[in-house]
Structure 1
Amino acid sequence: MSELLDDPAVLEDRVMTTRAYLAAAGGQEPEAVEVRVAASITHLGLVARLVSPALAAAVLGDGVPPLDLNSVHWQPVLGGAFPLSLAPPSKSRDLATEFFEGPVPALATITQRFGVSDHILRGNVASAVNGASVALSNAAPQLADQAGRTAAQLLAHPTLHDIHTTTDGFRRRSCCLIYRAAPNHAGALCGDCVLSA
């Protein structure tokens, strides 16, 4: 995945492909979807795909795989969880360190050039962490407590501690902007969105 960092055209192609995909879902031309909306959704998808298997490995006690983008291999297809290959996990690695010193700042830096604010990007990361925990808990209810504790540790990291609240369930303090991809910017809001009632 380091090609995302090494060649700006790779991320731009992914963002524009996401833009076309989102537009088609709403029966629109690609130009109807703002580039920053597609970039935010692209960022959220990339972060979510990276944190999910790493969180699961940590919860299972298998250790943590390296998450720097030089160690991760992908097939950049759209429409779901793209194929991903990670190096074997190690118990000597720390999940927060791998995540917050590896892909999180790298992906934020390259996505900001599309006009996506740091506030939105950090919200995307928090949402991805929470989503990974929820997905794991739903798939393996016996792991729900450990998944919740592991996610809470990540969400308490200085990068994320002020970008969400858990007072009445998880809610981010920013919006990923996906509602703006729908015709007239009238799409549904995500369940954890700051804009939902």
Structure 2
Amino acid sequence: MNPASTPPPTPSPQRPDYARLAAIGPYFALDTSATGTPPPDYRPLPELYGTGPDAPLAARIRVVAQRLGTAELRVAASVLHLGLAARFWSVGLGSAVLLGTVPTLEHAWARIPDQGPIDLWTPPEPVRPDSAGLVDRLHQAVLVGRLEPLAAAVRAAVPLSARLLRGNAASALAGTLRVLEAHAPGRVLELVAQLLDRPPLAGSGSLLTGPHGAVFRRTSCCLYYRIGPGAGLCGDCCFTRPPARPRRND
């Protein structure tokens, strides 16, 4: 072969610097160590979506209920769901605005610690330029890939309305926006606004911008106020005061 016609070597795929996400906080951290195997005590992420009384999610709901001091499993399930939704949005949205890519987490493994957000590990995913925009990729990777099976698993464990869980997903997205506004204000606001305008999140709340940043008001309640008299309301709740709880007839 003529050396002059030898094609140049193919450059190795670029790997996103996920350490930039971990610097923001634990909700954004994604372990992509190139060892090829997950750390000890991690389990395949799809196991989180298992159903049945002994499934990891059902067991975790009971733990959360105990720690919150509530006998209402649906309150604990909603609080847990909101935290997990925030975890997935943080990784996805943070990657989109800071790294220009969205990890699919298709081969991710997870570990549920005693405290704090779940730990996530995934084999390194190279940046894959394609025709899909970041909004489409976030919708597919986070909403379809993670939050839809999560909502189904939560509803299999505890009866919660689909509307409430959509509200949780929107609330978690807005909360992630507030964290990332300091890092990429215009870009992250545009992505979040587009996600909130398309199904299934369309109609779940209103996103307003002001001098102090974005404000979100959801159209459903996450039930946090039902933990106890002093719990109060979340900042984006549809209520302006906690609803009166019905009296029990003893």
Same fold (TM over 0.5): yes
Deviation of 1:188 after TM superposition, in Å, equals 1.2
Q: Specify the alignment match of 2:59 in structure 1.
A: 13
Q: Do structure 1's residue 58 and structure 2's residue 96 form an aligned pair?
A: yes
Gaps of 5+ in 2: 1-44, 210-214, 242-250
Following the alignment from structure 1 to structure 2, what is the Cα–Cα distance between the partners of residues 131 and 89?
A: 27
Q: Do structure 1's residue 179 and structure 2's residue 216 form an aligned pair?
A: no
Q: Specify the alignment match of 1:158 in structure 2.
A: 199
Following the alignment from structure 1 to structure 2, what is the Cα–Cα distance between the partners of residues 45 and 89?
A: 27
Deviation of 1:98 after TM superposition, in Å, equals 1.3
Q: 1:65 to 1:19 in 2, by over 3 A?
A: same
- Decide which structure has greater helix share: 1
Q: How do 1:37-116 and structure 2 match up within 5 A?
A: 37-68=75-106, 71-87=107-123, 88=125, 90-91=127-128, 92=130, 94-113=137-156, 114-116=158-160
Q: Specify the alignment match of 2:188 in structure 1.
A: 147
Following the alignment from structure 1 to structure 2, what is the Cα–Cα distance between the partners of residues 189 and 103?
A: 27
> What amino acid is aligned across from residue 227 of structure 2 in structure 1?
A
Give the SS at the match of 1:166: strand
Give the SS at the match of 1:43: helix
Deviation of 1:75 after TM superposition, in Å, equals 1.5
Q: 1:159 to 1:34 in 2, by over 3 A?
A: same
Deviation of 1:176 after TM superposition, in Å, equals 0.8
Give the SS at the match of 1:57: helix
Following the alignment from structure 1 to structure 2, what is the Cα–Cα distance between the partners of residues 116 and 78?
A: 25
Following the alignment from structure 2 to structure 1, what is the Cα–Cα distance between the partners of residues 64 and 101?
A: 33
Q: 1:142 to 1:98 in 2, by over 3 A?
A: closer
Q: Specify the alignment match of 1:29 in structure 2.
A: none
Following the alignment from structure 1 to structure 2, what is the Cα–Cα distance between the partners of residues 78 and 181?
A: 20
Q: 1:187 to 1:6 in 2, by over 3 A?
A: closer
Q: Specify the alignment match of 1:4 in structure 2.
A: 48
Deviation of 1:78 after TM superposition, in Å, equals 4.4
- The structure, 1 or 2, with the larger RCO (C-alpha pairs under 8 Å, 6+ apart) is 1
Following the alignment from structure 1 to structure 2, what is the Cα–Cα distance between the partners of residues 166 and 89?
A: 33
Give the SS at the match of 1:18: helix
Deviation of 1:193 after TM superposition, in Å, equals 0.6
Give the SS at the match of 1:40: helix
Give the SS at the match of 1:90: coil
Runs of 4+ with deviation above 3 angstroms: 89-93
Decide whether the 8 Å contact of 1:123 with 1:176 is kept in 2. yes
Q: CA RMSD in A?
A: 2.0
Q: 1:47 to 1:170 in 2, by over 3 A?
A: same
Number of residues paired by the alignment? 182
Deviations 1:120-175 (A, max 9, x none): 100000001111111112xxx24111111111122122101111112573111111
The two structures have a TM-score, normalised by structure 2, of 0.67
Deviations 1:5-58 (A, max 9, x none): 2353211111011111111xxxxxxxx430000111111111110110110111
Gaps of 5+ in 1: 24-31
